[in-house]
Structure formats: C-alpha cells, structure tokens
Amino acid sequence: MSARIIDGKAFAAEIRGRVGEEVARLKAEHGITPGLAVVLVGEDPASQVYVRSKGRHTIEAGMNSYEHKLPADTPEAELLALIERLNEDPAVHGILVQLPLPGHMDEAAVINAISPAKDVDGFHILNVGRLATGQKAMVPCTPLGCLMMLRDLHGDLSGMGAVVIGRSNIVGKPMAQLLLGDSCTVTIAHSRTRDLPGVVKRADIVVAAVGRPEMVKGEWIKPGATVIDVGINRIPAPEKGEGKTRLVGDVDFESAAKVAGAITPVPGGVGPMTIACLLANTLTACCRIHGLPEPEGLTA
Ligand code: GUN
C-alpha cells in the first residue's frame, strides 16, 4: 500500500484564498481592513525569513501588514511599551511577537502583555486556558492547520485514537487539546515515553512534533493511519554535494508512506498551513473585535 500524500501547499493556498475573499467582503460591506502587526527582536536569520513571508502573505490576502524590527539589545520595557501601543491601535487586529526572543527577555511576560483578543498566536495564558476549557479561544496556528487537514481528510474525527508526539506549548499541548475537542481519544507521548513504537502503533492519527529528524519509522505506524509531520529538521545531504543540507520531518517519510493511509510531506505539508492559519486567525480576531460573525471553517 502507498499512502495518499496530503498536499499542504495546495490546501494552504485554498485557505489563503478564502481568507482573501472574506477580507474583501469586510472591506466592501463594513469598510474594515484587518491588520496584522509582527514584531521581530534581533537578527535571527530563520526568523527574518519567516517574518518576511508573513508580511508578504498578509498583503496578498488584502490585509494591512505592520512590521516592527527592534535591535537584539532592546530593553524589555521598550518591547512592552510597543505591545501596549499595538494593543490600543484600532488598525491592528492581530499581534505576533516572533519567538525566540533574546535571552534577556522574559518570554512569558512578553506574550502575556499582548491583548488576548489580538493574540493571533494563541500563546497568551488566557487563550491557553480557554482552549483547555472548551471556550472560544485564539488557537495556535500550527495545530490549527493540522486540525484543518485532518477534518478535511476524515470529516468527523470522533472516537479516533490520536497520538501526539511532543509536548511543547506551541504544538504538542494545543494539538492534543484540539483533538480532544473533536472527540478523539488522545495520548500525548514524548521523548521519555516508554515503548513509543507500541504507543504509536495503536493510533489512527499520529502527529509528530518532537524535533528529531526521521525518528518515527514506518514499522511503528498502524496500517492505514494518518500521519501528520510537524517536524522541520535540516540535516546534512552529502549526496547533493559537500556542505549541502536538506529538510526532513520527524517521520521517516519513505518507510512511513508505505504503511500509512495518508501522510504529510516535509516540506510542503504542515509548513504552509501555519501562515495560512495566521491569516485566518487575524481575520477571526478582526471579526470578533468588531462583533461581526466569523467566517465558517477557519477556526477550531
Ligand atoms: N517561532 C517559531 N514558530 C513560531 C510561531 O508559531 N509563532 C511565533 N510568534 N514565533 C514562532
């Protein structure tokens, strides 16, 4: 058997298209243009790439993009003052502070300074609590993208066995909450889990978010299961030439694709969905702030 390859790039383009249509409608009917502010502290090259890409897609969706770049040695108080201004700015509906922050900053304090209504990352403790208690929340973008792909593939997820490998605040924990919200039987596994292959083997849905290149092997997968690979790991690729690298996920794609029913590739799987969901969250935040109905299918 050979798995269906889930085309995250195409699905993300579809989501971005739907967001774009809703943005156009908001402008035409209400004279409102959603705005996303992205804050980058320091010069981390990977973060710079992400931030540029976020800005480009925001504008392509018809929204306003506000970029704030601060030097790495910015005092925390200055960042908090900027967040306060963005919280008060009626043109800004979403605020994203790119992580990681420089070592002298208290990440939790910075995240919790963002207005929960504008917290398009869903990292504010109030949104985390709302998600955990089944209340309307802003939901982290990567898990939301994974959930959208799973719903698109299966429709109703009720009663399915799901294993989330990884317990980060950004992916693992919110992913488990979302799957639980859709009535899956959820196991959270991690690097210390005993008999991880045995745990994975029981699952109808496997979400791998551990950050270990090609750790999940085909033999671990239940035949026909759906495998969502959140990992983005750069590894040496001597076959491409000296010093060359390639991107791989947390799943050994070649062996897993022979057993799974459906699988996301890396790159081109979960990755593109994250930015699409950031745009969706900005639109959702804008609608909620203005007391307008939310577009369907773009939230948890
Ligand atoms: N750094 C890596 N991933 C993320 C993310 O999803 N949000 C933010 N704010 N920073 C990140």
Terminal CA-to-CA distance of the chain, rounded, Å?
32
- Residue to substitute in 50, 111, 168 for testing ligand 1 pocket (most ligand atoms within 8 angstroms of CB): 50
Residue 1 has what pLDDT?
Answer: 65
Banded model confidence at residue 293, pLDDT cuts 50, 70, 90: very high
- pLDDT at position 85 over 90: yes
pLDDT at position 260 is 98
Task: Give how far Cα 137 sits from Cα of 125, 127, 177, 178, Å.
Answer: 11, 5, 12, 11
Amino acid at 57: H
pLDDT digits (tens, 9 = 90+) for 200-225: 999 999 999 999 999 999 999 999 99
CATH assignment of 31-116, among 3.40.50.300, 3.40.50.620, 3.40.50.10860, 3.40.50.1860? 3.40.50.10860
High-pLDDT (> 90) share of the chain, %: 99
- Cα–Cα distances in Å, from 251 out to 90, 123, 206, 228, 229? 43, 26, 10, 9, 6
pLDDT of 121 > 70? The answer is yes
In the chain, which segments carry CATH 3.40.50.10860? 31-116
Topology given in CATH for the domain delimited by 141-272: Rossmann fold (3.40.50)
Kindly give the number of the ligand 1 atom that is closest to the alpha carbon of 142. Answer: 6
Number of other CB atoms surrounding residue 245 within 10 Å: 12
Confidence of residue 237 (pLDDT cuts 50, 70, 90): very high
Task: From 279, 286, 209, 294, select the one nearest 17 (Cα to Cα).
Answer: 279
> pTM of this prediction?
0.97
Ligand 1 pocket test target in 105, 111, 121, 141 with most atoms within 8 Å of CB? 121
41 contacts 102 by C-beta, under 8 angstroms: yes
How long a stretch of residues is the chain? 300
Does residue 295 surpass a pLDDT of 70?
yes
CA–CA distance, 133 with 230 (Å, rounded to integer): 25
> What pLDDT is recorded for position 165?
98
The C-alpha atoms of residue 300 and residue 295 are separated, in whole angstroms, by 11
pLDDT-based confidence at residue 273 (cuts at 50, 70, 90): very high
Report, as an integer, the average pLDDT of 114-127. 98
99 lines ligand 1 (CB under 6 A): yes
Inter-residue contact 3 to 262 (CB < 8 Å): yes
Instruction: Determine if ligand 1 sits within 6 Å of the CB of residue 141.
Output: yes
- Element holding 65 (H helix, E strand): strand 64-70
Catalytic residue among 44, 69, 73, 98: 98
| Amino acid type, 120 | V
